Amino acid sequence: MDDLSLKLLAGQPIDIGIGKIHPLTLREIMNIGEITYNQYLSILLFNKTLLQQEELKQLSDFEVFSVYCFYNESFRNLSFKALELFFKETPLITKEGVVFFDKQRVFNESAFNQMRLVLKKQNYLKDESEKEFKPANDKARELQEKLKQIKSKIKEQNKNDGLNLSDIISIVSAYLPNVNIFNVWDLTVYQLYELYIRLIMKDKYESEFAIYLQGEDPKKLDLKHWASKIEQ
């Protein structure tokens, strides 16, 4: 998947071989509802460690997904709605339990894992596999910690459960010059969060720089410029 970040920034579908995963715009998410959208994401990104059955924990996420699609009608119906939403195609299942779009495009473990990677990237969700392979990614950890701190402050101020999608939409619409409440709906989730994180980084930098101008020791400040690389 070459140029994945560029395609995500452009809001382009990502081809994983068996089909193209389409990024939904905020308008599309609004029309189906954020709760429903998150349900669709959750069922495709489930973690087998949450299961109670010990025998299923011995299987891979893909194997558990296949088993549940075959034996559990409710799980299959919700999963197929989710697949149809993101792929814009209707999935099918064989009598042996193989999920496919057509005979040449079958959901094997490789395609399943690629799908999950793209969905996580599209929706700015943390990829646990990256944490295993990049344990010393200081920039990513630093940015993530900043986001946690900012969300924590807002949560304390508003006495709620933190930011949801509508909060991020409102913030980006209010503070970016070329994005407003009327055109923000054409953005994808990835584009929205890229803008939101840039806004946070810019605000953080300007606040730290103002303190520096007042004579604060620069060693005690984080003066990393807001136009630096974002590590997801």
SS3 helix, strand, coil % of the chain, rounded to 5?
A: 60, 5, 35
Distance CA 14, CA 187 (A): 16
What pLDDT sits at residue 136? 36
What pLDDT sits at residue 62? 93
Q: Are 14 and 20 in contact (CB under 8 A)?
A: yes
Q: Which of 153, 145, 156 is nearest to 201 (CA)?
A: 145
Q: Are 212 and 218 in contact (CB under 8 A)?
A: yes
Q: What are the φ and ψ backbone dihedral angles of 221, each rounded to 5 degrees?
A: -110, 160
What pLDDT sits at residue 102? 94
- The model carries a pTM of 0.73
What pLDDT sits at residue 135? 31
Q: Are 100 and 94 in contact (CB under 8 A)?
A: yes
Tokens of 26: 């905020």
What pLDDT sits at residue 174? 86
- If one counts every other C-beta atom within 10 angstroms of the C-beta of residue 55, the result is 7
What pLDDT sits at residue 28? 97
Mean pLDDT of 114-126: 91
Instruction: Give the pLDDT band of residue 58 (cuts 50, 70, 90).
Output: confident
The residues pairing with 99 across neighbouring beta strands, listed in sequence order, are 93
Domain boundaries of the chain, sorted by first residue:
4-126, 136-220
Number of H helices, E strands in the chain: 10, 5
Distance CA 22, CA 188 (A): 10
75-87 per-position pLDDT tens digit: 999 999 999 999 9
11-41 per-position pLDDT tens digit: 999 999 999 999 999 999 999 999 999 999 9
Q: Can you tell me which residue has the tokens 């070329």?
A: 178
- Biggest CA-to-CA distance, the chain: 72
* Dihedral Cα 61, 128, 78, 34, nearest 10 deg: 180
Mean pLDDT of 178-182: 92
Which DSSP letter does residue 181 get? T
Instruction: Give the pLDDT band of residue 48 (cuts 50, 70, 90).
Output: confident
Tokens of 106: 């079958």
Structural Rg of the chain based on CA atoms: 20
What pLDDT sits at residue 46? 85
Q: Are 78 and 42 in contact (CB under 8 A)?
A: no
